[in-house]
Amino acid sequence: MRIVLVGPPGAGKGTQAARLAERLDAPHISTGDIFRENMKNETELGKEAQRYVDAGDLVPDEVTVKMVKDRLAQPDAQEGFLLDGFPRNTAQADELQKVLGDLGQRLDAVLVFEVEDEELIKRLMARGRSDDTEETIRHRQEVYRSETEPLIAHYQDIAVRVDAVGTIDEITDRAMDALADEPDD
């Protein structure tokens, strides 16, 4: 299956993506993880991305799209994937559609993880990543609302909502149920 995960920062997307990837036997492709890995190894891509990631801004589409294209061209992504954190805006969604369209492929579902704002801030403050200061968290939430949330309407035909409050197992089960309910076309 070809799946995109959407949700505000702190919704537990990364945790769920890793679990769903295992259950579906598809690679978990997290653009945030790829950026962080590159920043840690001080690669050119990492140096380019650093200031945006630190500020909670989106890394420019050009850089991000190229990185995702390269990743989707890898052998393990040919039968399916879980994209976690991409697309983040409608321009990226259009690029993704082009890439898949050229291969005669399309997305099967977009899982939208839903959690209220107050709960999100609480979770993020507890996480302690370097881009998890209160100011950056608030900024990332604004970026989510203005740039990423419009994707839910963009993908209305294949978007399924998942209540992302509960235990990790409950949420994985809900996401799997949501995927099972999604008709093939």
| Interface contacts to ligand AMP, rule CB under 6 A | 9, 31-32, 35, 52-53, 56-59, 64, 85-86, 88, 92, 140
Q: How far is the CB of 84 from ligand AMP (least distance, A)?
A: 7
- Three-point CA angle 102, 90, 183, nearest 5°: 65
- Known binding residue 51? Answer is no
CB of 184 to ligand AMP, least distance (A): 27
Task: Give the residue among 118, 119, 84 at the shortest CA–CA distance from 5.
Answer: 84
Q: Which is nearer to ligand AMP, 46 or 173 (CB)?
A: 46
C-beta closer to ligand AMP: residue 129 or 177: 129
Structure tokens at 143: 């970026």
Reading the block at residue 117, the tokens are: 């704002």
The H-or-E segment that residue 83 falls in is strand 81-84
36 is in an annotated binding site: yes
101 is in an annotated binding site: no
For residue 82, the SS3 value is strand
If you ran DSSP here, which 8-state letter would residue 78 be given?
S
Q: How far is the CB of 162 from ligand AMP (least distance, A)?
A: 17
Residue 180 assigned ligand-binding role? no
Nearer to ligand AMP, 35 or 171 (CB): 35
> Minimal distance in Å, beta carbon 178 to ligand AMP?
20
By C-beta, is 87 or 179 nearer to ligand AMP? Answer: 87
CB of 181 to ligand AMP, least distance (A): 26
Is residue 120 annotated as involved in ligand binding?
no
Residue nearest to ligand AMP (CB): 32
Burial pattern 80-110, b for ≥16 Cβ within 10 A else e, equals: bbbbbbbbbbeebbebbeeeeeeeeeebebb
CA nearest to 169, candidates 12, 29, 44: 12
Residue (of 92, 121, 118) closest to 107 by Cα position: 92
15 assigned binding-site residue = yes
Binding-site positions read 10-15, 31, 36, 57-59, 85-88, 92, 127, 129, 140, 166
